[in-house]
Amino acid sequence: MCDELTAEELRLAAIGVNRRQFATLGAAAAVLAGCASHGEADAATASTRLVESTVSIPTPDGTADAFFVHPARGAHPGVILWPDIAGLRDAFKAMARRLAEAGYAVLAVNHYYRGGAAPFVSAFTEWQTPAGQAKLRPLIAGITPERTTSDARAFAAFLDGQAAVDTARKLGTQGYCMGGPFAVRTAAAAPARVGAVGSFHGGGLVLDKPDSPHRLIAATRASFLFAVAQNDDLRAPEDKDTLRRTAEAAKRPAEVEVYPADHGWCVPDSPKYDRVQADRAWTRLLALYGGL
């Protein structure tokens, strides 16, 4: 089961090593798992190519915690990573490390920081339990478009203040599940800085509201990647067409594709994780970020 994955298995899954391959690593894998850092400031990862830390970011509503990881040398494009409904946890730290290994300074944020420091659940399957839902539902209810927008500005400002971030290049932002619309709102919150947006099985992108995320595309200067889950498309088949039309009308580049995988397929600890399709989506993300 996905909730039995260790932190090291999640890291390996994010870079393309499955459970069987993990098992064959034997003692070496155990050493890596034992040496993996868990939020210590400026702790080097097992590969020694990256530097990672848990950081505190001032916002209008308090102090947000986030996981910041980047290559050990040089300055790189910054990326704001918005987790899914289960929040910041080892799965998203693994994904952030993978992106950092590709040459980005990645800030994986705790969008539930108003309720405390992450993690709130250890894996996606915990969110699906009654106890997990009781823990997260009040935090979900506390998120508003206005709060997401102010948080996004604070996160962008934090990245621009880091030596590891190349401020001559645009920022990227990506979100999963409920984080998909947050990524769109980020681009609208900091249009002069955000140049690329990736939404993966994003929910709530097309709403019958004046501030619907799709209506914010025109307020951005970004290119977009909308990777849609096949079961989400079945529930709302018109949304993909609305996203395409809206981006075209706004003269914003947008790739909109329905993937042959279900909601959650990109996240290593999701029961719907699909490595083949997750790798396809990751390849498209890197192509998108190549323009930063």
Whether 23 has a pLDDT exceeding 80, the answer reads no
Express each pLDDT in 125-146 by its tens digit.
999 899 999 999 999 999 999 9
Q: Is the pLDDT of residue 22 over 60?
A: no
DSSP letter at 206? S
73: pLDDT strictly greater than 80 = yes
Provide mean pLDDT across the span 111-137: 94
Which helix (H) or strand (E) segment holds residue 107: the answer is: strand 105-109
How many structural domains compose the chain?
Answer: 1
- Does residue 65 sit in helix, strand or coil? strand
> 19-28, 181-190, 273-282: which range is least confident on average?
19-28
Structural domain harbouring 214: 2-289
> Quick one: pLDDT band at residue 26, thresholds 50, 70, 90?
very low
Share of the chain above pLDDT 70, in %: 84
H or E element in which residue 56 lies: strand 50-59
Burial per residue of 105-144, b for 16 or more beta-carbon CB atoms within 10 angstroms, e otherwise = bbbbbbbbbbeeebbbbbbbbbbeeeebeebbeebeeeee
According to the model, what pLDDT value does residue 258 have? Answer: 98
**Segments in 161-289 forming alpha helices (H):** 179-189, 230-235, 239-250, 275-289
Share of the chain above pLDDT 90, in %: 83
pLDDT at 262 over 50: yes
Say which CATH number the domain at 146 has.
3.40.50.1820
- The H or E element spanning position 108 is strand 105-109
pTM to 2 decimals? 0.85
Q: What does the alpha-carbon distance between residue 10 and residue 21 come to, in Å, rounded to a whole number?
A: 13
